[in-house]
Amino acid sequence: KQKAIEKSDPFTSQRRYYRKDVKLDCQYRPVGLSQKVLLPGNITDISLGGIGMEIDTKNTTSYSHMKGDSFVVTIVLPNNQNLELEAKIVAVTKGESYGVLRLGMSITEISSGSRKALGFFLMP
């Protein structure tokens, strides 16, 4: 009976994309700064609405990483597609290892090409 309920739920039948756990290196910089400023990060999960990123706390010495700060994030997907998007920090927590911060970020801007590439990557 449980499976029948799940299949008839209109929300699960319409969902096309999921949050995917990944391990992707990325580079990011504060919005408005030169492209020469590149900070390293590691994407741990990604969806069409946001990303989870782990960073070294050293990245926070020169640039603010507070809730509300926005960054341009560049990611290369496993299928060699390049993504560039703007994301705003919505949560900052300590990472599992010493010297690591975990950023929960909401995607605020993404080109249609990057959105399409990300959508294909997220399909089950």
- pLDDT tens digits, residue range 44-77? 999 999 999 999 999 999 999 999 999 999 999 9
Residue among 97, 96, 76 nearest 22 (CA): 76
The tens digit of pLDDT for each residue in 26-37 reads 999 999 999 899
Residue located via tokens 């969902």: 15
Return the number of other C-beta atoms located less than 10 Å from residue 38's C-beta: 14
Kind and range of the H or E run holding 114 = helix 112-122
Q: Would you give the distance in Å from CA 8 to the centre of its chain?
A: 31
Kindly indicate the confidence band of residue 10, based on its pLDDT and cuts at 50, 70 and 90.
very low
Q: Are 77 and 98 in contact (CB under 8 A)?
A: no
pLDDT at res. 17:
56
Q: pLDDT averaged over the chain? A: 88
For residue 12, give the 3-state DSSP assignment. helix
